[in-house]
């Protein structure tokens, strides 16, 4: 089957995160693995998004993406988890199910772009942290300049470090208006603090995608800042060495979304769209 293209061109630096919490849906995964959690729950969250936005017709989720109609059968998503009802029950009262703006399911994992609409959260953090405060933070985080990279270098925020990051980000996001994605992440941090949940994080360096292959630029293997060509140490955390070479991966694509004709059979998509008033 042809791979569905998700993004082409530059890919920004972003933070992948997941709230560490044991549940039936995560059986077979390492609870502190952001990657495994995202892979396990991605389709569930997508299904929840389609349900919440009213894009489900006759048990089939339908959405126009990049000018083409895509879809998937809900039963195929929920079958692995013994049906839709058990999934909804599991997520319904879960303290880790925080992000509910777009989906009521699997709101315990997501990603945070560092910059949105010209607002750079990393720069905002640098603006509110004084030199004296940065020095004191060295007792809890890897010393970096900018301080942003030190927050995520340990790949886990326990209760104490989480409270520190939450306080600084509150100052950074309340001084001036910020995009909603930043305020949503603040809700994630707040819930983790209130419920005593650990937050696992993975900072992903910038890169580029040709639609099939994703290239992550060379970066420091400790703080994940982009490497400076020819410089045998990290200018952000001062770690010696050349760092990590560029990484090549296949793009994630749009799954579980696939061409609607693939879901319904050749030639059936047009009639289905007409029946449901989608043309």
Answer whether residue 279 shows pLDDT above 80.
Answer: no
> Measuring CA to CA, which residue among 145, 155, 160, 156 is closest to residue 225?
145
Confidence tier at 4 by pLDDT (50, 70, 90): very low
- Give bridge partners of residue 219 from the DSSP assignment: 226, 244
DSSP state of 246: P
In this structure, the dihedral spanned by the alpha carbons of residues 66, 68, 73 and 79, taken in order and rounded to 10 degrees, is -30
> Measuring CA to CA, which residue among 203, 222, 217, 214 is closest to residue 251?
214
Q: What's the pTM value of the predicted model, to 2 decimals?
A: 0.90
Does residue 172 sit within a domain? yes
Does residue 3 sit within a domain? no
Both tokens assigned to 86:
């058990």
Helix (H, G, I), strand (E, B) or coil at 238: coil
* pLDDT tens per residue across span 203-254: 999 999 988 899 999 999 999 999 999 999 999 999 999 999 999 988 877 8
Does residue 2 sit within a domain? no
Per-residue pLDDT at 7: 66
Does residue 4 sit within a domain? no
Domain count, the chain: 1
Q: For residues 90 and 130, is the Cβ–Cβ distance under 8 A?
A: no
Distance CA 103, CA 27 (A): 21
Does residue 1 sit within a domain? no
Confidence tier at 6 by pLDDT (50, 70, 90): low
Which range marks the domain in which residue 173 is found? 9-275
Does residue 24 sit within a domain? yes
- Give bridge partners of residue 211 from the DSSP assignment: none
Q: For residues 124 and 173, is the Cβ–Cβ distance under 8 A?
A: yes
Mean per-residue pLDDT over the chain, rounded: 92
Distance CA 53, CA 17 (A): 24
Does residue 144 sit within a domain? yes
Does residue 32 sit within a domain? yes
Report how far apart, in Å, the C-alpha atoms of 27 and of each of 40, 41, 60, 74, 152 are: 9, 11, 26, 20, 26
């Amino acid at each position: 089957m042809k791979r569905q293209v998700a993004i082409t061109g530059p890919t920004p630096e972003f933070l992948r995160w997941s709230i560490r919490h044991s549940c039936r849906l995560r059986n077979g995964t390492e609870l502190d693995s952001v990657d495994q959690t995202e892979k396990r729950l991605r389709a569930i969250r997508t299904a929840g998004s389609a349900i919440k936005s009213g894009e489900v017709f006759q048990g089939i989720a339908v959405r126009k993406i990049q000018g083409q109609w895509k879809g998937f059968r809900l039963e195929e998503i929920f079958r692995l988890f013994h049906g839709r009802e058990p999934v909804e029950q599991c997520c319904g009262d879960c303290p880790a199910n925080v992000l509910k703006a777009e989906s009521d399911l699997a709101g315990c994992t997501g990603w945070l772009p560092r910059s949105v609409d010209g607002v750079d959260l990393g720069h905002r953090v640098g603006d509110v942290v004084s030199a004296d405060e940065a020095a004191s933070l060295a007792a809890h985080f890897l010393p970096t300049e900018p301080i942003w990279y030190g927050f995520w270098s340990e790949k886990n925020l326990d209760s104490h470090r989480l409270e520190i990051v939450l306080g600084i980000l509150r100052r950074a996001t309340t001084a001036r208006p910020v995009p909603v994605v930043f305020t949503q992440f603040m809700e994630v941090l707040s819930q983790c603090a209130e419920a005593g949940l650990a937050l696992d994080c993975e900072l992903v360096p910038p890169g580029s995608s040709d639609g099939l292959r994703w290239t992550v630029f060379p970066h420091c293997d400790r703080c994940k800042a982009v490497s400076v060509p020819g410089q045998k140490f990290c200018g952000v955390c001062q770690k010696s060495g050349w760092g990590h070479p560029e990484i090549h991966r296949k793009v994630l694509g749009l799954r579980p979304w696939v061409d609607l004709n693939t879901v319904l059979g050749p030639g059936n998509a047009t009639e289905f769209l007409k029946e449901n008033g989608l043309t």
